[in-house]
């Protein structure tokens, strides 16, 4: 088994219920995560340029969408305990901390290199130092039942094809009444801007990805294709209701190019 983090001095999770890096490196990924093939390698390969491409492709709007998610987090008890799944380079964690300065915050991802980028950001500011980063599988996290007031996933659900399995894990992790939030990009074929949006996803995105991720051929088309293939907000609402969430609501942003969907675990 590969030990990807050894020797990198990563300041990983400090809470006692979290596994040590060594125990994680001996823990195989669950079947759905294994079925993601070399997706983890792809994210490892693009980590150093991920943020800049994100910013460019969303015209900087991702910061606004992240703030919208942070505003919708629900803390059933002060100061709130939040988990961000597939947290990648940590920008969603930073947006949450800005909005919820006293919250207990954990980010989990299965890509060591993406987490390394997150760790560098976190180390830059004192008010971020207590954010826990966990190397792990979003389908099978190491946390006990009912650990969090809110669980979020930003631009990550597209990569997790076994969505019902992820919803089950989110339900397990939430305290009763806690909230699950999904921020994601999508393509709305009914929008008047659809032709332009399609051009952006099919032409501009692969071209820009080619400039930034030259060593990661697969990433060129993956980005646009995965957005084109992602279901509408209505379908995500239906899926969350089917999974057992209550009071599911949605909001779309920036000419129907991003969605925020949230729902609560029953009391």
Instruction: Assess whether the previous peptide bond of 208 is cis (omega < 30° from 0).
Output: no
* Window 24-43: residues binding ligand SAM (CB under 6 A): 33, 36, 39-40, 43
Is residue 100 near ligand SAM by the rule CB under 6 A?
no
Is residue 220 near ligand SAM by the rule CB under 6 A?
no
Site for ligand SAM (CB under 6 A): how many residues? 24
Q: Which of 46, 70, 86, 95 binds ligand SAM (CB under 6 A)?
A: 86
Q: From the CB of 159, what's the least distance to ligand SAM, in Å?
A: 4
* Window 104-163: residues binding ligand SAM (CB under 6 A): 109-111, 114, 137-139, 154-156, 159-160
Q: From the CB of 241, what's the least distance to ligand SAM, in Å?
A: 23
> Looking at beta carbons only, is 21 or 160 nearer to ligand SAM?
160
> Looking at beta carbons only, is 138 or 170 nearer to ligand SAM?
138
| Site of interaction with ligand SAM (CB under 6 A) | 33, 36, 39-40, 43, 54, 86-89, 91-92, 109-111, 114, 137-139, 154-156, 159-160
């Amino acid at each position: 088994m590969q030990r990807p983090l050894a020797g990198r001095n990563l300041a990983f999770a400090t809470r006692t219920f979290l596994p040590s890096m060594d125990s994680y490196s001996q823990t195989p990924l669950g079947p759905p995560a294994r079925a993601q093939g070399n997706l983890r390698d792809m994210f490892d390969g693009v980590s150093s340029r991920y943020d800049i491409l994100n910013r460019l492709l969303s015209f900087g709007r991702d910061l606004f969408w992240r703030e919208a998610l942070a505003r919708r987090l629900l803390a059933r008890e002060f100061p709130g305990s939040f988990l961000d799944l597939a947290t990648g380079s940590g920008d969603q964690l930073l947006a949450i901390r800005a909005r919820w300065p006293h919250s207990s915050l954990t980010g989990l991802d299965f890509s060591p290199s993406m987490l390394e980028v997150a760790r560098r950001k976190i180390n830059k500011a004192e008010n971020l130092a207590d954010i826990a980063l966990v190397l792990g599988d979003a389908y099978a996290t190491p946390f006990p039942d009912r650990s969090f007031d809110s669980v979020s996933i930003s631009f990550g659900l597209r990569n997790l094809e076994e969505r019902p399995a992820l919803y089950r894990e989110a339900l397990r992790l939430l305290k009763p009444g806690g909230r699950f939030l999904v921020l994601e990009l999508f393509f709305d074929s009914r929008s008047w801007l659809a032709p332009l949006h399609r051009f952006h996803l099919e032409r501009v995105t692969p071209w820009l990805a080619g400039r930034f991720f030259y060593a990661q051929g697969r990433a060129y088309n993956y980005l646009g294709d995965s957005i084109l293939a992602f279901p509408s907000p209505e379908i995500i609402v239906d899926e969350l209701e089917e999974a057992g969430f209550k009071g599911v609501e949605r909001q779309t942003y920036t000419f129907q190019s991003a969605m925020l969907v949230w729902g609560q675990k029953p009391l």
